[in-house]
A and B are shown apart, each in its own frame.
Chain A
Amino acid sequence: MLVNQKLQTEKVQCVHCGLAFVGAGRFCCGGCESVYDFLQGHGLGRYYDLRNDFTTQKAAPIRFKKQSFLELKAKPERELNFYLEGIHCLGCLWVLEKLPEILPGVLHARLEMSTSVIHVAIDERTNFQIVANTLQQLGYRPHAIEKSAEEFQRNENRSILLRLGVAAACTGNIMLLSVSIYAGASGALARDFAWLSMLLSLPVFFYSATPLYQTAFAALKSKTLSVDLPIVFALLAGFAASLVSLIRGGNEVYCDSLSMLVFLLLSSRYLLRRMQQKHLSNAKLLDFLDSESVICIRATTKVEISVSQLKVGDILWIPAGGVLPCDGVVRSLGALLDLSLLSGESLPEKANPGWSAYAGTKNLGTEFLLECTDLGRETRLGRILTQLNSASVTQTALRGFADTAAKWFVGIVLSLAAMVLVYFHGNLDEGIRRALALVIVTCPCVLAFAVPLSLSLTNKLAAKRGILLKSPESLEFIPQIQEIFLDKTGTITEGNFTVISWLENARYSDEIQSAVYSLERLSRHPVARALVTFLEGKVTAQAVDGFVEVPGLGVNGSIGGISWQIKKSSQARATNNCIDIFRAEELVARISLGDQLRADSKSLLQKLGARKIFLLSGDREEICVRVARELGIPEAQIFSEKSPEQKAAIIKAHPQALMVGDGANDALALKSAKVGVAVHGSVELSLKNAAAFFSRPGLASLVELFQLAEQNRRVTIRNLVFSATYNVFAGALAITGMASPLWAAVLMPLSAITVFLSTTISIRGRT
């Protein structure tokens, strides 16, 4: 008789990474256990105290495949920067900066936590391959960084910071001098002060503001209007007018407000830049496929070489669990390939000799031989990646609303100023005064810094909630999105197999569990992994004789003289994966496994309101239909069994859509979407192609992203309305001659400060 058995759900925390898991022992995986042993063995046990004292954990640790870093061995440099995946708390900082004590030959190690970059200097006693291996043993995945790109970015940042410092110092002192003029100082003192502030504004005009001149000039050259254009115009006109007024013996100088404008602009741009660079370090990473080594068969012996040394026609030995470094033809039996990177198919496929296999797929079967046919950019994965790079050009062509508005604004202000000049051609002095007042008072500060400011504040808020945005600009598009494409695996569902039901013959209950555990422990198939996780800690493993894995079918073996067979059910129901267990040829249990829906998926989908939800998956149709039915997604909005290329084509047909998908296998589609959101995988690789990354799986982040984007839109609209009102009134005052250029120079920073404060308060207020 088959009886449904209670599922075990009690969870324990891993001693090393803190991950809650089901099973016995103190560690969730062998990786965590070996890192723990390594730390204790080097007397670095204090890591655990530190970590518990100051929890600044950002994300759960990721488990990595071992690499051997052959290409780093011969590096001539004595200093190198590594980008480390897996940095999350103070404990990491402590352990990593102890590197010189662990490894003789390392002179110094400095970690920069905000960017996860470690700077390592060594002498001739060691080399970077050893350093990289030690970093890996410590549980971080190192990527060597190209020095030039990073150096360039660093110098650029420094130069902006220097300009900003100069502008701040000069502006502060000019302000002090101006106060006395505004307070009514007159005569020789006022004139001296006016000259002095003119003198102090020279570094601001001719050093700090130079980047503004460059962008304005570049815009003129390409015959477009940019926000910087009227600012530069106002700067130069204001400077010239001040100089003329001084020489004529007056003291009407606008240096104070103009240098303040430069200072505010530079600081908002610097902040925005820092924020953008934080998650963009991926551009500096070396190609991820090249950094691995493979085992190649040359003249019947196995040689370990770096992927960059591979040639077409080489015969590779692919170990069990290895990732294919190139496209090729299978040359021996035993290959069972996990195609999820390319197709999203959740079950692996058996590959017979003569079949083609693609780079990036993982071997879940036993070791096999592969003849290399295509390398690097010529592989299917390589072609997808190349396509991605060309797609990035079209994406930057998208322009935000603020940019378009700025162009109109600039055009209107400049032509109004010209009209004023023409109107007053009889009294050019008055004409110049009014036109100047107009240009100064109607500062496009809302467009120049309020929009970026609210974007970057929202961006920061999002990052705190586990939503990383590549470019804050994408927030502008999100509120208008009406179509959402969701990938099934990991977004709506848990993303891995779990046991849904377990029917067994009660007479053999204990025996069955123990046999299933002992047999499946030896297999790498996802279904086997799910069963092992499910039984971990409940039963003990027994010795198995004559274990045979039949790819695509199941496993056989005998325990204590009784033969056991675990195989795919012949009468499998379409929706789940059914497994039959035979004890001495007798059917004793039937287990079904499936990918379960996340508990909150349905309620969160409803929060997305009237937006149209599509399901886009590489998985089998029956599974997609079942999931869609549970969520109430109509059949017409289901796309199943789609390859990455097909997915991208579907997304291209809906250019205004947001897509949530796996960072790796949906990369091409994510890039084509108006807003691509990646879940899963490493942040670094995902953000190469997607606009956003969710560090928490599930739909909750998506709902939050929409809320944040909506809030940003409201603040932006309020700013724009305020700015429009202000500009119309102030502009009218200037044109009618009621506001002198001096008054304009006071009003303009006041309006800028109002916008600045209202933006900061309304976005901060909701944290």
Chain B
Amino acid sequence: MSILFILVPIALLLAGGALLSFLLSAKNGQYEDLETPAYRILLDDCKSGEKPND
């Protein structure tokens, strides 16, 4: 059972890491627009006038 005294803190550290990254991304505004990025990825990065590569 003493393994728990190592495993539980590790689990908490992992959870803390996940929470930290969530807080950072939320402060960055990544959860404000949930619609556009899904469309933006469909667009090609070509200059206007150029045809996209097929």
Q: Which residues of A contact B (CB under 8 A)?
A: 42-44, 46, 50, 54, 56, 90, 93-94, 97-98, 101-102, 111-115, 154, 157-158, 161-162, 165-166, 169, 172-173, 176, 189, 196
Contacts and interface: CB of A to CB of B under 8 A. Distances in A.
B54 interface: no
B10 interface: no
Interface string B1-27: 100100010011001101100110011
A621 to B, nearest CB: 48
**At the interface, is chain A mostly helix, strand, loop or mixed?**
helix
Given A42-B48, A93-B39, A94-B43, A114 B8 contact: no
B4 A93 contact: no
Contacts of B22: 165, 169
Given A90-B39, A113-B36, A114-B34, A161 B26 contact: yes
B31 A113 contact: no
Given A165-B23, A189-B1, A196-B8, A54 B47 contact: no
Residue among B8, B34, B39 with max Cβ neighbours from chain A (10 Å): B39
A43 B48 contact: yes
Contacts of A50: 43
Given A42-B48, A173-B11, A54 B42 contact: yes
A173 B12 contact: yes
6 contacts: A54-B39, A154-B29, A166-B23, A169-B16, A172-B15, A189-B1
Nearest to B40: A93
A162 B43 contact: no
Contacts of A101: 47-48
Contacts of A54: 39, 42
A93 B12 CA distance: 42
B15 A90 contact: no
Contact of A90 (B26, B43, B49): B43
A165 B26 contact: yes
Interface residues of B, number: 29
A442 B28 CA distance: 39
A115 B34 CA distance: 10
Given A43-B48, A114-B36, A93 B19 contact: no
Contacts of A172: 15
Contact of A114 (B11, B33, B40): B33
Given A44-B48, A113-B39, A154-B29, 17 more contacts: A43-B49, A50-B43, A54-B39, A97-B43, A101-B47, A101-B48, A112-B35, A113-B33, A115-B33, A158-B26, A158-B27, A158-B32, A161-B31, A165-B22, A169-B19, A173-B12, A189-B4
Interface of B: 1, 4, 8, 11-12, 15-16, 18-19, 22-23, 26-27, 29, 31-36, 39-40, 42-43, 47-49, 51-52
Contacts of A111: 36
Contacts of B8: 196
A93 B36 contact: yes
A158 B12 contact: no
B10 to A, nearest CB: 12
A102 B48 CA distance: 9
Contacts of B16: 169
Contacts of A176: 11
B50 to A, nearest CB: 8
A162 B4 CA distance: 30
A169 B1 CA distance: 25
A46 B47 CA distance: 11
Given A94-B43, A162-B26, A112 B36 contact: yes
A112 B34 CA distance: 9
A166 B36 contact: no
A94 B46 CA distance: 11
**6 closest cross-chain pairs (CB), A and B:** A43-B49, A114-B35, A169-B19, A112-B33, A113-B36, A165-B22
Interface centre among A113, A189, A196 (most CB of B within 10 A): A113
B46 to A, nearest CB: 8
A445 B22 CA distance: 27
B53 to A, nearest CB: 13
B39 to A, nearest CB: 5
B15 A162 contact: no
Contacts of B4: 189
B15 A169 contact: yes
Contacts of A94: 43
Contact of A165 (B19, B42, B47, B49): B19
Contacts of A157: 32
A158 B12 CA distance: 24
